[in-house]
């Protein structure tokens, strides 16, 4: 088994210490962090496939995201251009909308977006519409994600989209809404472009929008 | 006020008959109402529904009459007992970062739990050892609730007893949540934040198991604390985080099921009416519930669990209820709700063991809740 195969397998098997050992070994052998990150990404993608086939569950999705994040952290000292890289990445803004403080799904979405190579700005919970707009202006983000669990979140989602319209930004961004209750009706009401109750599927929607990947 | 239509059975008879998997006069209907009356009544706000048992009871009675009567209700004050419970519980404001109406939130916003899971968890992984040594009480905080609320429990409890009695004896309507139980698994997941806890399942499984083993019996006793205050008969046991929305069957078998089964079986043995409140998706593990005592339990599921599968797998064993999407009651229409309820009745009512119900959002439209009730009264009749 090649080092690459072993690394991918360790990610898929959730063997985190093995992942970190292989990553360290690869760094010593002079393999570029960018390549290692791609390999890790492949592992996370297989985990996602298994999740969709119901062989894996949310726990495994979360764990794969964690292993990815920690492995990247090991490489951070040697990724000197990290900041520049980040600037090149597409930016996605995510937050739980005003009046709602539920964030389990949102946090998983954030980790998976990072694993997929996006620069994610997490605004946290109970985020007022103006804050979404302000950040979008500041960062030129092309995708904004609203999260919510309570029915009051629908009203806040509507208000947030209204705020984007008010400042003339609505046509320049794509909006995805996420959370257990969201469906097509919520999407239409909230004036969004996409919806999901599944963080992994949400990442695929964002990938499709920004990179044309299915 | 609408006059409640006379029917062949009282709600108590109807609900108990369904529980025993026999056909009552019609399918019972159970809107799980928490704070909804406050949305419509000028003089009662959400803080009142939580903290003032008289106003909470008044609100519940008002809505009971307003929408034509339903088959299970909550006693005024029961919510206080839940949120100001001094024992480690998911709903206790002495633990976690609960934000309460009239305290951190405006008086008209329902209580909310901020999990803060990634940034600053309520419980850290290194705290597992301390729990093993000292239990849970060192985790108490007074951020949302204080000594005053604790002292108040003694004053509120007799009101809950009175209101519980009133529902059962005057209205002939059973109450729910006279007591509330939880598993150590769900509590740890909430205390750690579910994202952190899912990582812990891989990193600290032995420790988690040791805690679950050590404290399950204590948690079973804590569930009876509410009962001792309300002198009621029903215990609600919640489960959310061991479903297929979170963990694999392997982890479910190792960390959840044996202890959940012990909890439920103990309550049944003690003669309580047990309501299992299982949010999220349990479809792939419904067959485990056949291991529980037959004809003595309710299973509440939300829209993520397939109720038709539940009927197929559990129909001759456990009374089932649920599957309607709560947000429908806010954003849907009476027609849509009637359609969904009729489908459930058509496919699941045969032979009894069915209740129609849903959690009702705190800003639901009354005509939508009424549509669910009216459909059960109209189409849910059993022909004798």
| B276: β partners | B237, B299
Structure tokens, B360: 């009702």
Residues of A in contact with B113 (CB under 8 A): 101
pLDDT at A80: 54
In a domain, B215, yes or no: yes
Mean pLDDT across chain A: 88
What domains can you pick out in chain A, each with its CATH number?
A: 3-81 (1.10.1240.10), 89-211 (3.40.50.280)
Name residue, tokens 């070994």: A25
Per-residue model confidence (pLDDT) at position A84: 57
Q: Is the pLDDT of residue A86 over 70?
A: no
Helix, strand, or coil here: B58?
helix
> Any residues with CB less than 8 A from the CB of B55 and at least 6 apart, and which?
B43, B44, B48, B49, B76
- Token pair in block for residue B345: 């009745």
Measured between CB atoms, which of B99, B195, B247 is closest to A57?
B247
Rounded to whole angstroms, how far apart are CA atoms B362 and B326?
10
B194 located within any domain: yes
Contact list, B116 vs chain A (CB under 8 Å): 103
Give the separation between CA B39 and CA A178, rounded to whole angstroms: 26
User: What is the per-residue pLDDT for B309?
Assistant: 97
Q: Which domain holds residue B182?
A: 11-81+152-379
Task: Report d(CA B263, CA B215) in Å as an integer.
Answer: 11
Q: Are strands B273-278 and B354-360 parallel, antiparallel or unpaired?
A: unpaired
Q: Which of B109, B113, B193, B199 is most worth mutating to test chain A (most A CB atoms within 10 A of its CB)?
A: B199
Residue A111 has pLDDT above 90, yes or no: no
Spatial CA neighbour of B330 closest among B369, B280, B375, B279: B369
Give the count of beta carbons closer than 10 Å to the beta carbon of residue B4: 14
pLDDT in tens, A165-203: 999 999 999 999 998 889 998 999 999 999 998 877 898
User: What is the total residue count of chain A?
Assistant: 214
Residue of B nearest to A67 (CA): B199
Out of A100, A152, A181, the one facing B363 most closely (by C-beta) is: A152
Do B331 and A186 count as a contact with CB atoms less than 8 A apart?
Answer: yes
Task: Look at residue B124 and tell me if it is in a domain.
Answer: no
Residue A81 has pLDDT above 60, yes or no: no
B103 falls within a domain: no
| B270: closest CA of chain A, how far (Å) | 35
Residue A121 confidence (pLDDT) above 60: yes
3-state secondary structure string across B212-231 = HHHHHHHHHHHHHHHHHHHC
**Inside any domain, residue B3:** no
Identify from B90, B190, B194 which residue to disrupt to test chain A contact, counting A C-beta atoms within 10 A and taking the largest count. Answer: B194
pLDDT at A103: 76
Whole-number pLDDT of residue A180 = 81
Q: Which residue has the higher pLDDT, B24 or A74?
A: B24
Query: Distance between CA A180 and CA A183 in Å, rounded?
Result: 9
- Residue A158 tokens read as 């509507």
Per-residue pLDDT of chain B (384 residues; tens, 9 = 90+): 566 788 999 999 999 999 999 999 999 999 999 999 999 999 999 999 999 999 999 999 999 999 999 999 999 999 999 999 999 998 999 998 899 999 999 999 999 887 665 667 889 999 999 999 999 999 999 999 999 999 999 999 999 999 999 999 999 999 988 999 999 999 999 999 888 999 999 999 999 999 999 999 999 999 998 888 888 899 999 999 999 999 999 999 999 999 999 999 999 999 999 999 999 999 999 999 999 999 999 999 999 999 999 999 999 999 999 999 999 999 899 999 999 999 999 999 999 999 999 999 999 999 999 999 999 999 999 975
User: With an 8 Å Cβ cutoff, are B115 and A103 in contact?
Assistant: yes
Residue B4 lies in a domain: no
Touching check for B117 and chain A: CB below 8 Å? yes
How far is the C-alpha of B224 from the C-alpha of B235, rounded, in Å? 8
Q: Is residue B169 part of a domain?
A: yes
Q: Calculate the alpha carbon distances from B378 to B89, B203, B220, B340, B371 in Å.
A: 40, 54, 40, 14, 10
- What ipTM score was computed for the predicted complex, to two decimals? 0.88
Residue window 42-101, chain B: list those with CB within 8 Å of chain A.
99
Q: Is the Cα torsion angle B195, A194, A49, A5 positive or negative in sign? A: negative
Q: What angle do CA B77, B2, B75 make, to 5 degrees?
A: 10
Q: Chain B residue closest to A153 (CA)?
A: B327
Number of domains making up chain B: 1
In this structure, what CATH number is given to the domain that contains residue B237?
3.20.20.210
Distance from CA of B382 to the nearest CA of A (A): 33
- Structure token digits, residue B62: 């008002």
Reduced to 3 states (helix: H, G, I; strand: E, B; else coil), residue B181 is: strand
Instruction: For A154, name the nearest residue in chain B, comparing CA atoms only.
Output: B331
pLDDT at A61 exceeding the cut of 90: no
> Reduced to 3 DSSP states, what percent helix, strand and coil does chain B have, rounded to the nearest 5?
50, 10, 40
Q: What is the mean pLDDT of residues A128-140?
A: 95
Checking if the pLDDT of A208 tops 80, the result is yes
Give me the residue from B203, B304, B331 closest to A151, CB to CB: B331
| Chain A contact residues (CB < 8 Å to B) | 14, 16, 54, 56-60, 62-63, 66, 99-104, 107-108, 125, 150-152, 154, 180-181, 185-186, 189
Q: Is residue B1 part of a domain?
A: no
Q: B190, B279, B327, B360: best mutation site toward chain A, by most A Cβ within 10 Å?
A: B327
Residue B30, helix vs strand vs coil: strand
Question: Out of A56, A107, A151, whose CB is closest to B361?
Answer: A151
pTM, rounded to two decimals: 0.85
Is A123 a residue whose pLDDT tops 90? yes
CB within 8 Å: B327 and A181: yes
Å between A56 CA and nearest CA of chain B: 7
Q: Residue B101: its pLDDT value, please?
A: 96
Record: contact A152-B198, CB cut-off 8 A: no
């Amino acid at each position: 088994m090649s080092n690459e195969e072993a690394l991918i397998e360790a990610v898929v098997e959730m063997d985190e210490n093995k992942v970190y050992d292989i990553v360290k070994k690869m760094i010593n052998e002079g393999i570029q962090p960018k390549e290692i990150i791609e390999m890790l990404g492949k592992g996370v993608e297989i985990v996602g496939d298994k999740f969709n086939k119901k062989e894996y569950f949310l726990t495994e999705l979360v764990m794969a995201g964690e292993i990815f994040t920690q492995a990247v952290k090991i490489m951070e000292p040697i990724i000197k251009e990290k900041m520049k890289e980040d600037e090149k990445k597409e930016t996605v803004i995510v937050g739980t909308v005003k009046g709602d403080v539920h964030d389990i799904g949102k946090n998983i979405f954030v980790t998976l977006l990072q694993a997929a190579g996006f620069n994610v700005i997490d605004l946290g919970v109970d985020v007022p519409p103006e804050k979404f707009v302000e950040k979008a202006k500041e960062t030129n983000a092309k995708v904004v994600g609203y999260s919510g669990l309570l029915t009051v979140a629908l009203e806040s989602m509507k208000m947030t989209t209204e705020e984007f319209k008010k400042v003339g930004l609505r046509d320049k961004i794509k909006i995805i809404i996420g959370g257990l209750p969201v469906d097509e009706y919520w999407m239409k009401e909230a004036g969004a472009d996409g919806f999901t109750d599944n963080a992994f599927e949400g990442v695929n929607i964002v990938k499709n929008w920004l990179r044309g990947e299915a | 006020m609408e006059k409640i239509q006379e029917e062949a059975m009282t709600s108590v008879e109807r609900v108990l008959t369904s529980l025993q998997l026999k056909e009552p006069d019609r399918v019972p209907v159970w809107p799980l109402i928490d704070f909804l009356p406050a949305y419509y009544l000028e003089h009662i706000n959400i803080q009142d529904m939580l903290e003032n048992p008289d106003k909470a009871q008044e609100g519940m009675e008002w809505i009971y009459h307003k929408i034509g009567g339903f088959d299970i209700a909550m006693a005024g004050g029961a919510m206080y007992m839940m949120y100001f419970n001094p024992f480690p519980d998911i709903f206790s404001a002495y633990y976690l970062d609960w934000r309460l109406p009239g305290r951190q939130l405006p008086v008209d916003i329902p209580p909310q739990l901020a999990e803060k899971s990634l940034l600053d968890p309520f419980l850290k992984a290194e705290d597992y050892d301390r729990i093993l040594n000292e239990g849970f009480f060192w985790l108490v905080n007074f951020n949302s609730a204080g000594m005053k609320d604790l002292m108040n429990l003694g004053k509120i409890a007799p009101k809950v007893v009175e209101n519980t009695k009133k529902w059962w004896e005057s209205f002939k309507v059973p109450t729910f949540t006279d007591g509330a139980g939880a598993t150590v698994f769900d509590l740890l997941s909430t205390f750690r934040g579910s994202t952190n806890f899912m990582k812990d399942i891989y990193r600290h499984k032995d420790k988690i198991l040791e805690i679950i083993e050590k404290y399950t019996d204590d948690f079973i006793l804590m569930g009876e604390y509410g009962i001792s205050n309300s002198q009621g008969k029903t215990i609600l046991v919640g489960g959310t985080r061991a479903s297929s929305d979170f963990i694999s069957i392997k982890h479910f078998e190792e960390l959840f099921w044996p202890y959940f089964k012990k909890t439920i079986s103990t309550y049944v043995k003690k003669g309580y009416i047990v309501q299992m409140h299982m949010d999220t998706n349990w479809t792939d593990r419904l067959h485990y519930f056949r291991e529980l005592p037959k004809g003595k339990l309710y299973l509440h599921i939300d829209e993520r669990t397939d109720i038709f599968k539940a009927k197929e797998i559990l129909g001759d064993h456990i009374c089932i209820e649920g599957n309607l999407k709560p947000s429908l009651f806010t954003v849907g229409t009476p027609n849509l709700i009637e359609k969904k309820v009729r489908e459930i009745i058509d496919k699941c009512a045969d032979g009894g063991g069915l209740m129609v119900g849903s959690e009702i959002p705190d800003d639901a439209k009354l005509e939508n809740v009424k549509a669910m009730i009216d459909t059960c009264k109209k189409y849910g009749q059993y022909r004798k």
